[in-house]
Amino acid sequence: MVTIDELPQEIVDKILVLLSFNDRLLASRVCRRWHSLVFNTAAVSSAVRFCIRYKTSNNNEEDNQKTIYESKQLYWKAMDVLANSFADFSDILIESVNLDSDDTIVADRWQRVATSVQCLHLIDCTTTDYHLLAILSQLPSLVELHLNNNYYLIKQSQQTATIGKWSSIDRSDCLRRLRRLDMSGNKSFKLCDALFVAIVQHCRDGSLRSVNVANCKLVFHFHIIRRYYGSDCCDHWSQATHYAFTFAVIKEFCLKFGQQIESMDFSGTDICYQHLLELLDLQSLATNLRQFIIKDCRQLLTNGDNLTEIVRLKPMIKFIY
């Protein structure tokens, strides 16, 4: 009988690449030899994307607590595997995982893979804005950031006490190379002005080219925005609210960083003709903006004539609607 040690390396690679992530974890615990085979084979080293997914159908409170625990366990184990692999993954996808972790070991793991990661996808994840920014601060080579349908907790952003090793992180080089920011699909009030500002303010070198807020719960109405800022507050940037994602902060972003923006996506939002015109009339956006996506915007669909007029007045911009 032929053992795995006697098989040609190319055959071993083909076998191991068929294993799921959890099966690889189990196989890697057999011995050091198997650990080396599982995570340092050509099949893994040639991979571009490293995926961490946790799926569950639990509904009751007891099962939800178990889900949170299992999700965190998967996150810790996966980061350990990622940090100890010889592969340089440029793309990391994390789905349905709880990232709310103060473990210094996790911080070390992110630091080990920091230089190779160029694209990060977080989908259906739960995290605090503090921990999210702590992760991003360790990815100086990040070019694309996708934050889709995530649930953000704000409790730790308001604390003055720092937590564990995250407190010693230097954020000066954070997101300087970011070219694409995708925040689409964050419904309800899962995304806020404070988190948006915390991310985009680091893109001060003019690298950011594309911003996607499609299907986000954006607040456009002036009187509703005043509820979060007060009647006397006009500074939506340095005093950004933690409780809503507003058009006011998007407009402020365009004023500050719009010179390099080439594409914006407001599909599925409640943007209306007046707000669209406010953005397009900004001199900062007139330089490089070439594409504006406004699919399934109900407020615009009811004013088709006005939209046609905007398209005619802005011939340099490609409108997709």
Contacts of 301 (CB under 8 A, 6+ apart): none
In the chain, where do the E strands start and end? 49-53, 91-95, 119-123, 126-128, 144-148, 151-153, 180-182, 210-212, 218-219, 245-246, 263-265, 291-293, 318-320
SS3 278: helix
- Residue 182: its pLDDT value, please? 94
Domain count, the chain: 1
Report if residue 14 sits inside a domain. yes
Q: How confident is the model at residue 71 (pLDDT cuts 50, 70, 90)?
A: confident
Q: Which whole number is the average pLDDT over 196-212?
A: 83
- Residues 225 and 231: their CA atoms lie apart, in Å, by 9
- Residues 289 and 266: their CA atoms lie apart, in Å, by 14
Residue 240 · residue 249 · CB < 8 Å: yes
Other C-beta atoms within 10 Å of 84: how many?
A: 14
The pLDDT of residue 284 is above 80: yes
| pTM for the model | 0.78
63 vs 244, residue with greater confidence:
244
- Residue 168: its pLDDT value, please? 47
Domain of 42 in residue numbering reads as 1-46
Report if residue 284 sits inside a domain. no
Report if residue 12 sits inside a domain. yes
Report if residue 83 sits inside a domain. no
- Residue 158: its pLDDT value, please? 44
- Is residue 319 left, alpha or beta, with left meaning phi > 0 and alpha meaning psi from -120 to 50? beta
157-181 pLDDT tens trace = 444 333 344 444 555 667 888 999 9
Report if residue 3 sits inside a domain. yes
Q: Which of 215, 146, 134, 139 is nearest to 180 (CA)?
A: 146
Report if residue 144 sits inside a domain. no
CATH number at residue 35: 1.20.1280
How many helices (H) and strands (E) would you count in the chain? Answer: 13, 13
Report if residue 36 sits inside a domain. yes
pLDDT mean across residues, the chain: 77
Report if residue 2 sits inside a domain. yes
